[in-house]
Structure 1
Amino acid sequence: MTVELSAPPVLSTPAEHVFEQTIVPESDGSSPPRTDDELRDLYEIPRTAREVREGGWKRIALQFPDNMLRDGPRVVELLRAELDSLPRPEDSSPTPSERIYILADTSYSACCVDEIAAEHVNADVVVHYGRACLSPTERLPVIYVFTHHALDHDETLAAFEKEYPDKESRVVLMADVTYQSHVPALASELHSRGYANLVSTAIIHDPTGRIPNRKLVTPQGADVDASTIDLKSHAIFHISTPPTALLLALSSRVQSLHIHPTSSSQPSSSFSTARLLGRRYARLLTLASAGVIGILVNTLSVANYRASVDSLRARIAAAGKKSYTVVVGKLNPAKLANFAEVDGWVVVGCWESALVEDDAGYFRPVVTPFELGVALMGDEKRVWSGEWWGGIEEVVGGERLLKGEEEEEKDDGQEGNEGSEDDDSEEESAPPEFDLRTGKLVSNSRPMRTGRKKAATATAAANEAENGEGGGKAAPAGGALTLRGKGELAMVNGVVSPGAEYLRTQRTWQGLGSDYVGEASTVIEEGRSGVARGYTVGEDGERR
């Protein structure tokens, strides 16, 4: 009997995850369409065209956030016209040489530069519109256009004076990047009204700064020596609602934070991050007792993402846990629910996108690299001062950690059989571990430590069998999956695999086994490779 589905399966990707739903009051459907002059100012058309021409770039990729895609075709026309109006170098051809492309959908977070999509059109430069995390890119140059939005200066000044009536208050005036152009004028006016201890901010490309991507300046625009400013004694007046990652990062660095809304739909508030940090701490405690941790790559553009993945692998291995690396693009609960064997996830992303704010629907907790570092500390060492960071910009490079891990394994190998009994006794006498959230006993929080001993024992037995000492058969070649007897872990290429063990013992369907009798296997042929715009087929390199 066939039963028709009345609703999509649970693991289907919900429609609301297809695009990021962002409400922008300045350009909602009830507002009249912007004029060409407004678009030229909003998207900084003259500056963009000038930088493109000065850079000599011929293929330009325009990256819009989802809520700005509607303006894409008109922006292309205006940018094309502006480029045509600029003088060309004497040695260039008289015909237009620049080609402009719109990146219709970003692979990862909108705040990051999508170099992968830009490579599909072989772009020379990416023009990134809207708010940005300003994390350093790896392959392509970038022109950042934060876009300009209107702000009522009189209302903002009145709100500032109401929040800080004492003219001696120590306050840092800052804004979201889309409102940064208003900060100098506001700071100058507040200084003239008697706020002598006021400092403001200017944008720089430094996500790891004391205030991410900002430097401190005087109301007159001069740089402030950061060593002379104690942020713990300063409050922050922030124009527009900042990303949650910035709120958490600033929570332990400043005295207080006041958010000034930029639309009637946003309430003004003095934000407290204590509750958010408490939720984050609860998430990381779950990973403290996890045995299998998934490394979730959420960017392929941030410059040090490869070294960060290596660093995280080394840290997880040093803690006796197993890691698996997964690349899924934009995150949603349905994608991660397919990996039931993973006990928790750590996101490799920029300082904004690595934080999954609303993770209530996720099957397992999703944390940042900083939070994972806290989780991997021993219970006796885990003391959280309230510091927090979201991305991989502050993750230690992988080379040094990997070297330390290799030296540790080398030392273990030199000890040989003499230290094995001590290791076994230490493992057996180790105190029991408990999940700090549920109080339940945890028996598999460090599967690789136990698995390493079992792997060494299995290797020794295989060597004896191969030399004829044990009278048994030699171990199979390293390329196959080996299922050990009851009580032993599954191994792949001589390495313990908790994922394979989960597949063997927990999965209700394990795929086709070796007992499947079907058509004879055919010769494996090399398929297509390359980006979607032009594949290379086979060994002859034919392009299609």
Structure 2
Amino acid sequence: MPTLNSLTNTSAFSSSGEDAITRVLDVQKDTATHSLSQAQFDDYYEIQRTTSEIVNGDFKRIALQFPDELLHDSVPIYRRLSSLVGSGRELYVLADTSYGSCCVDEVAAQHVDAELIIHYGHACMSQHSRLPVLYVFGRKNIDVETVVDGLVDVYLADHPIYASSQGVLLKQMAEPEEEKRSDTETVVVLRHDVVYTHQAQNILNRLQAAFARYNIHVSYTPIPTRVNPPSTSSDPSQITQPRHEPDSSTMFYIGGESLSLTNLLITHSASEVYTSDPQQPPRPGINPRLESGRTNKLLMRRYAILQRARDADVFGILVGTLGIASYLPLLTHLRTLLKRKHKKSYTISVGKLNPSKLANFMEIECFVLVACPENSLIDSKGFLRPIVTPYELEVALRAEQSWTGRYVLDFEQVLRDTLQLRLSDGADEDVEDSEDPDKPVFSLITGTYRHAKRFRVRQQTAGAEVQETAMVLRNPDTAMVMKDSAAGQFLNDRSFKGLEVRLGEDMPSLIEQGRSGIARGYDEG
């Protein structure tokens, strides 16, 4: 295909595309199933339970979703299930998820008209919306006695009031009179990585036996292994209410370093979180241990990102999920919230995030990610613009600069809180904010006052709402931009505005042969 001589050398603007074919991905293999016999392999991946669910439910088309670290086991699992479920059933392996591998990829499953999704490996357990899901977490080995005894010993050592066998009596003697009359027991909440679900009941029983004489109650919410989709509804008031955990100042988490642990520390910043990694040897002060020291650092980092969001006037709403229930009402709520605050918003779906993708949207000053709780917290160090969660956006847009330390990652909870606040205040969500547009806003990032840009999306004309489409000249030539367009304003302020036409000003260049071939490997002319 002939191209202009000035455009023949494209290496300064783009790569040849060869790196996409030759690039080697760094994937950490899960070696838990190495050197297992066939019976142990079947037990680890619950082949018999999976087969029974498929046969009893009479599913004809089944999608097997694997994360990258378990792809080496996908073929053996596929062959075992194919030999057991009988003829007339089709199995499909989903190897590359649309978004995070912890979420159920209903979009990819619907491409093959699947009736059931079997999700292997770690899962965030977010509520999906379309297809029934069977979870196979895997069964990692765990020494229940060692893990539980270690957690109990560390907890009791940090609370000397329970040091004696007469712990209950000592506690009653130390409590004020008001607390004695309340006669309330201490509650410890048990949480664990999903790979230890098969031993959850044994862990719970041993913890209850260890804490029985101290009048300490252990609370636990079982993790389901089979989930059916709820009735779909776009009304936030119809969102399924979650299971409420009892108020507690202590939590036990059994599992290694992961996004689940990070989210737990942030969302329960007021609680003591004790962790134990069953895959690591016990070491005093390291495993098990109290994780309160990390919590403040994580919250401080998120608070700094939140302050950058306060200074932004143009937001990009990133769609990070298409399968979790209630993500559509949240998108509508975020657009309405930004419009009420006279902010400009763009809705963008880019799949898995990386700095190169988001750097293409230069006019956007801050991104809001709508994703599952485990994929919501993005470290923005490598990105050009900050990335915040829906809850952080709501805090950033408040008039008063206050944060109680409460943190919410479940966006269904964000919708419920917004709905309750709106019903209690009787406020209309579509009414624009009445703040003074000329009032300066102090920025904690720059240490100076700034005047926020105010974008008006709609205006009233003859009793009807119409979209503003007024056009203005960008320059004395024929180039035009939208009057209230953030992208147009950004382009107008740039010193480089792309390759301009310049008709009649430049002599034509010589035509030379450019690249040819297919995207897999071009031939240079």
Task: Name the TM-score, length of structure 2 as normaliser.
Answer: 0.73
- Measured in 2, the distance between the counterparts of 1:237 and 1:349 equals 23
In 2, are the aligned partners of 1:292 and 1:323 still within 8 Å (CA)?
yes
1:394 aligned to 2:382?
Answer: no
- For residues 76-115 of structure 1, the aligned pairs below 5 Å read 76-84=78-86, 96-115=87-106
Aligned twin of 1:288:
310
- 2:319 corresponds to 1:303: no
Runs of 5+ unmatched residues, structure 2: 1-5, 157-161, 168-185, 228-240, 506-525
Counterparts of 1:15 and 1:245, CA distance in 2: 35
- What amino acid sits opposite 1:271 in the alignment? E
Question: Distance between the aligned counterparts of 1:513 and 1:140, measured in 2?
Answer: 51
CA distance in 2, matches of 1:482, 1:515: 23
Q: Deviations over 1:502-536 (max 9, x none)?
A: 1232262345669699xxxxxxxxxxxxxxxxxxx
CA distance in 2, matches of 1:79, 1:447: 58
Aligned residues: 439
Equivalent runs, 1:373-392 vs 2, <5 Å:
373-378=394-399, 380=400, 382-392=401-411
- 1:271 is matched with 291
- Mapped contact 2:313–2:365 kept (Cα < 8 A): yes
Tell me the residue number matched to 1:366: 387
Matched, 1:26 2:32: yes
Distance change in 2, residues 1:4/1:116 (3 Å): closer
Aligned CA distance change for structure 1 residues 296 and 265 (closer, same or farther; 3 Å)? farther
The question of whether the paired residues in 1 share the 8 Å contact of 2:474 and 2:481 is answered with no
Q: 2:472 aligns with which of 480, 483, 492?
A: 483
> What residue is the counterpart of 1:149 in the other structure?
140
Q: Please tell me whether residue 201 in structure 1 is matched to residue 220 in structure 2.
A: yes
> Conserved in 2, the CA contact under 8 Å of 1:370 and 1:395?
yes
Could you report, residue by residue, the CA deviation over 1:319-347 in whole angstroms, capped at 9, with x for unpaired residues?
A: 11100011011111111111111111110
Structure 2 Cα separation of the partners of residues 16 and 349 of structure 1: 30
- Residues 1:141 and 1:512: Cα distance change in structure 2 (over 3 Å): farther
- Counterpart amino acid of 2:392? E
Moved more, 274-283 or 120-129: 120-129
CA distance in 1, matches of 2:349, 2:61: 28
Residues 72 and 434 of structure 1: is their aligned pair in 2 closer, same or farther, counting only changes over 3 Å?
same
Find the counterpart in structure 1 of residue 236 from structure 2: none
Residue number in structure 2 paired with 1:118: 109
Cα distance between partner residues in 2 of 1:179 and 1:389? 25
Query: CA–CA distance in 2 between the matches of 1:271 and 1:15?
Result: 42
Q: Which residue of 1 aligns with 2:447?
A: 439
Please state how far the C-alpha of 1:368 moved relative to its aligned partner: 0.5
Distance 1:236 1:399 in 2: 32
1:178 matched to 2:200: no
Distance 1:60 1:123 in 2: 5
- Corresponding residue number in structure 1 for 2:512: none
Quick check: 1:202–1:214 contact (8 Å CA) kept in 2?
no
The answer to whether the aligner puts 1:408 opposite 2:399 as a matched pair is no
Secondary structure of the corresponding residue to residue 348 of structure 2: strand
Distance in 1 separating the partners of 2:504 and 2:65: 49
State the alpha-carbon separation in 2 of the partners of residues 43 and 446 from structure 1: 55
Question: Given that residues 111 and 133 in structure 1 are in contact (C-alpha distance below 8 angstroms), is that contact kept between their aligned partners in structure 2?
Answer: yes
Question: Runs of 4 or more off by more than 4 Å in structure 1?
Answer: 1-9, 11-20, 167-170, 213-216, 397-401, 403-407, 477-481, 511-517
Shift in alpha-carbon separation, 1:261–1:214, aligned structure 2, 3 A: farther
**Residues 77 and 385 of structure 1, relative CA distance in 2, 3 Å threshold:** same
- Which whole-Å CA distance do the structure 1 matches of 2:335 and 2:13 have between them? 40
SS in 2 for 1:287: helix
Contact map agreement 1:114 1:301 (CA 8 A) in 2: yes
Mapped to 2, the partners of 1:45 and 1:112 lie a distance apart of 21
> Cα distance 1:264–1:108, how it changes in 2: closer, same or farther (>3 A)?
same
- Alignment of 1:161 onto 2:179: no
- The answer (yes or no) to whether the contact 2:119–2:134 under 8 Å persists in 1 is yes
- After TM superposition, the structure 1 stretch with the greater mean CA deviation from structure 2, 169-178 or 17-26, is 17-26
Change (3 A) 1:408 1:173: closer
User: Hey, what's the Cα distance between the residues in 1 that align with 2:419 and 2:501?
Assistant: 40
- From 494, 511, 521, the equivalent of 1:506 is 494
CA RMSD in angstroms comes to 4.1
Higher relative contact order (CA 8 A, sep 6+): 2
1:131–1:146 CA contact under 8 A, matched in 2: yes
Match of 2:254 among 238, 256, 274: 238
Residues 1:113 and 1:513: Cα distance change in structure 2 (over 3 Å): farther
The amino acid of 2:441's aligned partner reads E
Could you say which residue in structure 2 is the equivalent of 1:38? Answer: 40
Shift of 1:265: 8.6
